[in-house]
Amino acid sequence: MYNDLIVEHFTSPSYVGDIDTPDLEYELGNSVCGDRIRIHVKTTDGFITDIAFRAWGCATSVATADIFCNSVKGQSLEDINKRESQNIASMLGELEPSQYHCLDILKELHSSLLSEIMEGEFDG
Amino acid sequence: MYNEFFEHAEKVGLNPLKIAVSSVEELFRLPQEVLLDFKYGIIKESFTYHYESNNYYHNACVEKGVTPDSIQSFADLVKIPLIPINLHKSNDSHKLLTVGLNSIELEMRSTGTSGIPSVSRRCSPTVDGAVLSIYAMYREFFKISNGAGLYLCPSTEEIPEMGMIKALNMLAGLLDTHRFMVKQEQFVPEDAVKQLNEWQNNFTRHIIGPPFLINRFIRFLKASNTKIKLDKRSYIITLGGWKRFTGEILSREEFNQECIEYLGVEPHQIRDIYALVESNVMAVDDEFGEKHATPFMHFSVRDPKKLDREVEPGEVGQLAIFDPISRSTPGFILTEDLVRLLPGDSQSGRSGQRMQYVMRLPESTEFGCCAVNLDKRLDEQDENASDETCPVVA
């Protein structure tokens, strides 16, 4: 049911936690019953220098948050913005139908990160 | 006695736990002391299994100085270390797994007022046990094998992982037909009345759902002065919290009275179920309104101020559950629910434990399941709704 990538990032996540004074903090979730993910981000000169998450939900969504953090840490916001939808979709490996909602979560993690920056809510 | 049964069953290639799960009716008829001995055996086996296979739990047991050798009699079960229910909501809930993630077949969840989901993960043997156990309890207390179910809740298609809906939906498999009346967080009570009328004289009609959504339907019936007469063998079956998102506690007595007045049923037709997504346990109302716990599980009611001490039957305490079905995570759970065990013999003659739910622990910041959030959403919609969708004034 779970591919190796999901198993690895769920059972041994590297980015769980908080950042004391994040430049950006955002949260995704469904208010009735869905998964919740909170992201803390530090940036310097247009680069993601530190990132951490807390996630509550199914194993795949927790792994998704860790995979996302791993993929953006050290990357420039410009490069993250250039990621194409099909590349983002392949980041989670092969999924079961019941796990496909995590692709939407991953896309939203990307779009929320970029939109928060575009809105200039913090000094990157 | 249990050891002999266990050894014999295994010798002929049978799973003793599955035999127990399939024998709910027989277990309810065992003498109390025989049932206790049986429960002791399967709970000790389960404790030994998790102690030996789960690093996190093993370390917690070692820290408390408890090993399988510490458990030598039924009275020793109180020593088994408990997992606080909020650990199922923690970020690192993977540490609760006794099996690898790849052995997990089903994830289910429940979300209360905090919005943080409690996720329980079940491997195939656990799902086997849960399915057999739930159906056995439904058959024992409802004897339903046909009829129509008006589900005052969303469908499993809308929220497939929600434990409460999943458990109620299993009941639908015993019916001839059913319909979910909450769609996209919308409930139109006129449609529910119409559906009940269409089924009248064709099927025995049952109303199934969390208490607040059934209460919401009754409020509509009251406001529109509509009285329904359900059938002789109909049930009103509730599962879910009795505390609203506003903090208001729905009175069971008042609820029953309104069911009698507006849905035309007798008290014995109104049945509540206590269940937790983190456990495979159920406690179901019998015909006298006494809630019976699944007979092969054990309820241990603790003094909230001294959790290693059990309170006497009849006294209110914090519920701990020993669930031997759970193979994916240790099924020894400290809930945040205050309950009392009913002393004496049951009116229905069943053996085992009977409980009365009192309330959520006052210190708990969390209450309710997904129903409490649906209730809130529907209330918000009521405030903005036009008369054609819902004429109820909350």
SS (H, E, C) chain A: CCCHHHHHHHHCCCCECCCCCCCEEEEEECCCCCCEEEEEEEEECCEEEEEEEEEECCHHHHHHHHHHHHHHCCCEHHHHHHCCHHHHHHCCCCCCHHHCHHHHHHHHHHHHHHHHHHCCCCCC
Name the residue type at position B391: P
Kindly state whether B183 is in contact with chain A, defined as any CB-CB distance less than 8 angstroms.
Answer: no
Residue A57 falls inside a structural domain: yes
What is the distance between the alpha carbons of residues B220 and B152, in angstroms, rounded to a whole number? 13
pLDDT in tens, B196-212: 999 999 999 999 999 99
Residue A93's pLDDT is 95
- Residue B389 has a pLDDT of 40
Yes or no: say if B112 and B244 are a contact pair by the CB < 8 Å rule: no
pLDDT (average), residues B72-94: 92
* pLDDT one-digit tens code per residue, B292-314: 999 999 999 999 999 999 999 99
Band of residue B248 on the pLDDT scale cut at 50, 70, 90: confident
Residue A22 is assigned to a structural domain of this protein: yes
Residue B106 Cα, gap to closest chain A Cα (Å):
9
Chain A residue at shortest CA distance from B97: A11
- Mutation target vs B (from A11, A32, A60; most B CBs, 10 A cutoff): A32
Count the neighbouring beta carbons within 10 Å of the beta carbon of residue B91. Answer: 16
Per the domain annotation, does A89 fall within a domain? yes
Asked whether residue A107 is domain-assigned, the answer is yes
Which of B115, B121, B377 has its CB closest to that of A36? B115
Q: Among partner residues A33, A36, A55, which is closest to B373 by beta-carbon distance?
A: A33
Q: A103: domain range?
A: 4-118
- Asked whether the predicted pLDDT for residue B16 surpasses 90, the reply is no
pLDDT tier at B161, thresholds 50, 70, 90: confident
Read off the tokens for A101: 């909602």
Check which CATH number belongs to the domain holding A80 and give it: 3.90.1010.10
> Who among B89, B116, B373 is closest to A32 (CB)?
B373
| Interchain proximity B373–A31, CB inside 8 Å | yes
Residue A124 lies in a domain: no
pLDDT exceeds 70 at position B390:
no
- pLDDT (0 to 100) of residue A84: 92
Is residue B366's pLDDT more than 80? Answer: no
pLDDT (mean) for B161-188: 92
Band of pLDDT at residue A32, cut at 50, 70 and 90: very low
A102–B contact, CB cutoff 8 A = no
Nearest to A7 among B102, B115, B161 (CB): B102
**Which has the minimum average pLDDT: A63-72, A94-103, B43-52, B340-349?**
A94-103
Strands of the A24-29 sheet, one edge to the other: A24-29, A36-44, A47-56
pLDDT band at residue B373 using 50, 70 and 90 as cut-offs: low
Q: What percent of chain A has pLDDT over 90?
A: 74
Into how many domains does chain A fold? Answer: 1
Gap from A16 CA to chain B (nearest CA, Å): 8
With CB atoms and an 8 Å threshold, state whether A33 touches B89. Answer: no
Q: How many CB pairs under 8 A join A and B?
A: 65
Q: How far apart are the C-alpha atoms of B281 and B295, rounded to whole Å?
A: 9
Q: Which residue has 């129903």 as its token pair?
A: B371
Tell me, what's the pLDDT at B245?
63
CA distance B263 to B189: 13
Question: Does residue A123 sit within a domain?
Answer: no
CA atoms within 13 A on the CB side of A29: 21
Residues B88 and B326: their CA atoms lie apart, in Å, by 14
- Give the list of residues 6+ apart from residue B3 with CB closer than 8 angstroms, or none: B41
Residues of A within 8 A of B107 (CB-CB) are 58-59
pLDDT score recorded for residue B112? 65
Q: pLDDT category, A88, cuts 50, 70, 90?
A: very high
Q: Which residues from chain B sit within 8 angstroms of residue A18, using beta carbons? A: none
Task: Find the range with the poorest average confidence among A85-94, A104-113, B144-153, B238-247.
Answer: B238-247
The alpha-carbon gap from B374 to the nearest alpha carbon of chain A, in Å, equals: 7
Is the pLDDT higher at B242 or at B66? B66
| Interface predicted TM-score (ipTM) of this complex, two decimals | 0.82
Q: What percent of chain A has pLDDT over 70?
A: 92
CA distance to partner chain A, nearest, from residue B85 (Å): 14
Q: CA-CA distance, B173 to A88, in Å (whole number)?
A: 40
Give the nearest chain A residue to B86 (CA atoms).
A56
Please compute the mean of the pLDDT values over residues B13-37 and round it to a whole number. 92
Instruction: Output B280 or A116, whichever has higher pLDDT.
Output: B280
CB of A31 within 8 Å of a chain B CB? The answer is yes
What number is the average pLDDT over the span B118-135?
94
Provide mean pLDDT across the span B154-164: 86
Handedness of CA A35, A41, A47, A49 (dihedral sign): negative
Please answer yes or no on whether B107 and A59 come within 8 Å at the CB atom: yes
At B238 the pLDDT is 96
Answer yes or no: is A103 within a domain. Answer: yes
Residue at A81 is within a domain: yes
